[in-house]
A and B are shown apart, each in its own frame.
Chain A
Amino acid sequence: MSGNYESSPSPSEVGFSLVSRRTLLAGAAAVGGAVVLAACGDDSEGSEGTSGGTETTAAGGGGDTGEVSFGSNYSDEKPKAAMQAALDATGLSVKVNTVDHNTYQEQFNTYIQQPDDVVCWFAGYRMRAFAGKGVVGDISDVWEGLGDMSDGFKNASTGLDGKQYFVPFYFYPWAIHYRRSLFEEKGYEVPTTWDDLLALCEKMKADGITPFSAANDGGWPQMGMFDMINLRTNGYDFHVSLMGGKESWTDDKVKKVFENWSTILDYYQPDVNGRTWQDAATALGNKETGMYLLGTFVTSNFDPATDPAAQEIIDDIDFFAFPEIDPAHGQDAVEAPIDGFMMAKSPKNDAGARALLGALGAAASIDAYLAVDPSSVAANSAAKTDGYSALQKKSAELVGSAKYIAQFLDRDTDPDFAAKVVGKALQDFLSDPTTIDTVLATVEEQKQTYTFE
């Protein structure tokens, strides 16, 4: 798990750091357990979908769903086994087409033109782009059966036309991480407003601690900071609209984001652009820095297998939601990349596909998944949480209570625009904040070459 990512990692790539020997063994045991779970799922849980089909095989009967084909990018052994357990738990007859995750993602454009009935994909813009082109199916009716999904998840699954095209499966959140022991030792309070945050930064600085761990190697880590400040300053709707290419980057609202950002830049570790997220995480672990805005995968930087002190650090890391900037938006949005499923535009087995999507959205299947691979957090609020670590529990609460869930900049807009234009702009801004006007003018100019579907 020490990859240097060129873009923000997907939930399936990082998950939560539970890789101590103990949990590995538990995971192995769970594979066995999942089979039992799956067997239980056959007659009850599977029927919570929309069509109410309880058949385990293709042969007719009540909801008669038949065989559903399922395009999966869960190609590694453990996620593959976990996904199989989840599918078994739906009680439906599913034919799985596994394609390795890299190929799957790179060739999704061509694949979606001849897709399986149900396909694995990501929420947010990446889903909306395909929904907008009309190549995936409207599954609003499936959502009527997904009462356990919060509004945030529903919003993240909704296309620009207001219909749902996506069923969330699991996620990981971005938040400001800190070491609980440091905060206790120095008497710091978790800030809930921007002013609190600035005051806390001053305090840390006086104590000789760099307030913010900051990395931007690869160009993506600081996108998280931009997202959060924009979400807090201008709100979710503006953020989505800006990401969708519908707002001007030279707008005062965008400038305001960078003004706010400039006020905390003094509290950053120096030379952000060259630092890897792992190095910044190490600084947080060593208590050289006080806070770190990153995905919960920050804990994967600490490996108990090679460093005896790592487990203590992992257990000590906690996080809080990004503080409020404009009371109109409060802390209503959170950033959490979500993995899940879409339906083909005209699946061969329409009823079966809808039933499968409904069943995958139900608690039973994610429970079966987590039993095999416990390093994720379920999108479904009714999912079992007893296997969760403290950080996972908190993640579920944070995201479950959020009204809006953003997907991270490189998933919320054209990926190429994110990397080549915005990523570059943020790097330029971070190396010289005074150039922001020219930087934004350049973004606006280059934006014109993208179509944003």
Chain B
Amino acid sequence: MSTNEVGLSRGRKLTLTALLTFIAIVWIIPMAMALLSSFRYFEADTLQNGPFSWPETLTLDNYREAWRVGEIPRHFWNTMFITIPALLLILLLSSMLAFACTRFSWKFNVFFLVLFTAGNLMPQQVIFQPLFQIFKKTPWPDFLSDTNTGYLLGTKVAVILIHVAFQTGFCTFVLSNYMKTIPKELGEAAMVDGASVWRQYWQIILPLCRPAFAALATLEFTWLYNDFFWGNVLLQQGDQKPITSSISVLNGQYASDYNLIAAASMMIALPTLAVYLALQKQFISGLTLGANKG
């Protein structure tokens, strides 16, 4: 009987391994194909022999070409110009909010928490039209942006604002769950010692939230970096677009060189990959942070 059980579980194990291997391969194929394609000539090789053939020669030409034509450095700078300020603002604002909603009990703290987290449930695209009109009509001094449109529309500030508005909800949710796990007594002790609310927030709670910040920052960085929609619709100048939407310039009018696009995609994906590999632990804990109350 026991042998039977072992056999069964071994069989199960095998099936499971086979299944997981299969799924892993299915997942890896598009990535691997894109990587391989990015090193091949398109017209002379891929187009003649098909994408699943063995490459005739390997080359870095696609990378050089994509770097030059796609103006990768400029668009990368655009993305950073949006991502980093947005990220800092999001973490600052959401931590304040989470602090106020979890560390104090007042009349509307639950209401506000729900309000902010409920915002996550709304698909962002839904409010594109009204937002577009608001931005179009909101004057914005040119010295506060690097694009002189005179209005919020078309500036990177507009994109930053939208990211802050939308991501603050999720971050508040995660941070408030985390802050709830910090013993109440810490705050009470600080209060007895005469620490102001600001001091409790800045010197006691924030340092304790460091793991949550690391996780959120990693997660949010990739989300903001990968944003395609807002950067694409709000910025009208081709050279202002973030890196994710800039890639479309490589799409030829007559025919597309897919290997060139693959090379650009690889370069664009690299920073998020690097962040993921370097901060893997935080990334995974970030995904599960909001999952339980700890």
Residues of A within 8 A of B (CB): 1-3, 12-13, 71, 75-77, 79, 97-103, 107, 110-111, 113-116
Is there an interface contact between B233 and A99, defined as CB atoms closer than 8 Å? no
In residues 6-39 of chain B, which contact A (Cβ within 8 Å)? none
CB neighbours (8 Å) of B153 from chain A are 113-114
Q: Is the CB of A103 within 8 A of B248?
A: yes
Expressed in whole angstroms, the minimum distance between the Cβ of B187 and any Cβ of chain A is 48
Can you name 24 A-B residue pairings with CB atoms under 8 Å? A2-B255, A3-B254, A3-B255, A13-B254, A76-B253, A97-B236, A97-B237, A98-B239, A99-B237, A101-B253, A102-B248, A103-B232, A103-B248, A107-B232, A107-B233, A113-B132, A113-B153, A114-B136, A114-B149, A114-B151, A114-B153, A114-B154, A114-B236, A115-B236
Most central of A12, A75, A100 by chain B CB within 10 Å: A100
Sample of 15 further A-B pairs with CB below 8 A, known A110-B132, A111-B236, A114-B153: A1-B254, A3-B254, A12-B253, A13-B254, A75-B249, A79-B253, A97-B238, A98-B239, A99-B238, A100-B238, A100-B249, A101-B253, A102-B248, A107-B233, A114-B136
Q: Is B252 part of the contact surface with A, judged by Cβ < 8 Å?
A: yes
Answer whether residue B245 sits at the interface, using C-beta atoms and an 8 A cutoff: yes
Q: Is the CB of A13 within 8 A of B253?
A: yes
Residues of chain B touching chain A, judged by Cβ–Cβ distance below 8 Å, are 69, 132, 136, 149, 151, 153-154, 232-233, 236-239, 245, 248-249, 251-255
CB-defined contacts of A99 to chain B, threshold 8 Å? 236-238, 249
Question: In the complex, what's the smallest C-beta–C-beta distance from B144 to chain A, in angstroms?
Answer: 17
Whether B233 and A110, one on each chain, are in contact in the complex, defined by CB atoms closer than 8 angstroms, is yes
Closest residue to A78 on the B side, CB-wise?
B253
Residue of A nearest to B245 (CB): A103
In the assembled complex, how far is the CB of residue A101 from the closest CB belonging to chain B, in whole angstroms? Answer: 6
Q: Separation in Å of the A263 CB from the closest CB of chain B?
A: 37
Which residue of B has the minimal Cβ distance to A1?
B254
Q: Which residues of A contact B136 (CB under 8 A)?
A: 113-114
> Which residues of B lie under 8 Å from residue A71 when comparing CB positions?
236
Answer whether A76 and B252 are a contact pair too, CB < 8 Å, given A110-B132, A114-B149, A114-B153.
Answer: yes
Chain A residues within 8 Å of B253, by CB: 12-13, 75-76, 79, 101
Instruction: Compute how far the CA of A113 lies from the CA of B136 in the bound complex, rounded to whole angstroms.
Output: 8
A-side contacts of B249, CB under 8 Å = 75, 98-100
Q: Tell me whether B254 and A76 are in contact (CB under 8 A).
A: yes
Query: Which among A76, A98, A110, A114 has the highest number of chain B CB atoms within 10 Å?
Result: A114
Q: Taking the nearest CB of chain A, how far is it from the CB of B156, in angstroms?
A: 14
Q: Which residues of A contact B149 (CB under 8 A)?
A: 114
Q: In the assembled complex, how far is the CB of residue A11 from the closest CB belonging to chain B, in whole angstroms? A: 11
Task: List, in ascending order, chain B residues with CB within 8 A of A116's CB.
Answer: 236
How many Å from the CB of A69 to the closest CB on chain B? 9
* A283 CA to B254 CA, complexed, in Å: 23
Q: A76-B252, A76-B253 are in contact. Are A98 and B238 (CB under 8 A)?
A: yes
Residue in B153, B248, B249, B254 whose Cβ sees the most chain A Cβ within 10 Å: B254
CB distance from B43 to the nearest CB of A (A): 11
Contacts of A97 on B, CB cut-off 8 Å?
236-239
5 nearest A-B pairs in the assembled complex, by CB-CB distance? A99-B238, A100-B249, A76-B253, A100-B248, A98-B238
CA of A305 to CA of B282, assembled, Å: 55
**Could you say which residues of chain B place their CB within 8 Å of the CB of A77?**
69
Q: What residues of chain B lie closer than 8 Å to A113, measured between beta carbons? A: 132, 136, 153
Give CA–CA (A1, B256) in the complex, Å. Answer: 10
